[in-house]
A and B are shown apart, each in its own frame.
Chain A
């Protein structure tokens, strides 16, 4: 056998596993085409590998977690290095000794259950309408929203930059005055299609590392925001749409700043433009805010009516001065189309218009369909260097920095509805 053929043979296994470099893989591939005996051997190796992969998988015995936790929880019990030991743990379990499962094990089970629910069931509750986005690292200067507690229902209110009275912009109108509970900062992280799961996990890890545990999926789905703990114990993650996940968490001020810093770091590492967006209550459509030039896009502070009217710098409330909205640059707007097909998934239909924004400075392309699943591109990206997938997803992180324990609070600021 020639040395070349022998080395090819020895690489058959690695070729099967996809572990060869591309040039070497091409050489092996060619050899397999030219040499029937090699091809037969290759198929035999493949059969062996596949057969091994079909072996039934054994599960760890029940109670393994409890036994391990008991051993690591007891000094001396953990340090067993004399080889096999009698099954003291098994006897103890069999004798009916109750061992605490551990928060970690229960939490992971819960997270797995929630993950299964998340992939199988779309949340039915609508997302709270986000009034504004804060891109500023300087929280003191950020134009903050207020978390409104009104007769047990939640809503969002805007604290105008001119110091005027806060104006409520709620999605559930309730009679009577509302009272401010705590300041809120919203952070929107745009991610490209492929990075959504990783980015979502990164965000959750920020919460997890700071001691927050996820609210149950069902509570989040039913919008039981009141169950989010003001002691910084739980957070809510709601996958309201397959392409949008909203997080909400209540925490103390110190944690607030730390987490915002970490989330901004995640945001800065995303590969798509972080253009803030605003929502118009009047039309129910979302409009992309046109960001002025600069490495970071400042917050788009607009009232819905001002956007609908064609201009506002984001302040709200009676008597506030309204600056015209920046004009949409022709080079940044693609086609506005009316989708002509229906989407029966989850009973929703595509409708309305979507804008196709190209930000040549950032070499990214993104577009967003109002309240619907993002649509595929109908116009080829103008930037050859774009890495984003054709659809953009969003992580909306709503952080409530708790100044005082939430309500229903006494006193506070009287709110006026904008409607």
Chain B
């Protein structure tokens, strides 16, 4: 009986392919939008997760001045010095490391080749704090740090661009009129969460950087890695206290530095994505509603067109329930047809979008199943009223209709 009804429904859709497809556009668009957005959203958030991991886990970044996020900020703010770093390292508990950084974009030269590199002065904690993996060689020794030795560790991009195939360890890299011996090279990290190449980097001991590159002793930022995520707020408060004391900021005065929790920034980015997804979800919901009304409309037309057929069925002994089921199944089959079309289109769009936006394509089976179920539900909800109208027809009236 059910199978007969499904077959009947299929044939009535086949008879009016164009009409059915037009009717279903609302559902196709709604389901397609949801599938595309959720699939892309999944890809984007898994990329954010990945970036979170790349940034180094549980990291706080301290910068001088009350700046908004990003480069620039007030230059007149007092920068940090090595004693601030030492104080933080001594006074904070529950941390993995404290790494001061000072940075400058410069050309790194080897032989005839050169490449724009982010030249960074720091200490050995930095490798831990930023989760760098050393692929070959070693990092700075304590004596090299103290003495400001002419040694450097390079990122994967520098290795690739300047040493193409050659082992860089032991070679001398020139930066401006300063040259350093390459003692280690790091594994690739890829793009940062903000789109820059993190591997175009040359790392020097902080003192070497101050003396040979910068000509001052400023520290641009201090990264603090916290052992456990739960401790981040506490460490942030403690670090603030330490720095306020060292910089002699009166109680009630504003901090002249900023401590940021990078994971929070990424979480904000992720929640922005979530808001966007929610908005598109709302659009999709409206589209599904419109699609449902389309189905209701077409089913009412169908009931009117087939009044005589319904009369015949009732006359030969169809129960109200059986006529109701027939039209309900038709509505559901119609809606499912739209749903499947929408899922296919949505996945196609998501695959294209994922390729363009360079995020992974994560088709979520649960979401697809849900879209399928929602389509069926729309068929039931919006098909019910027309189906009931069909079932309640008076057989005499229905048979009289031409």
Do A and B actually bind? no
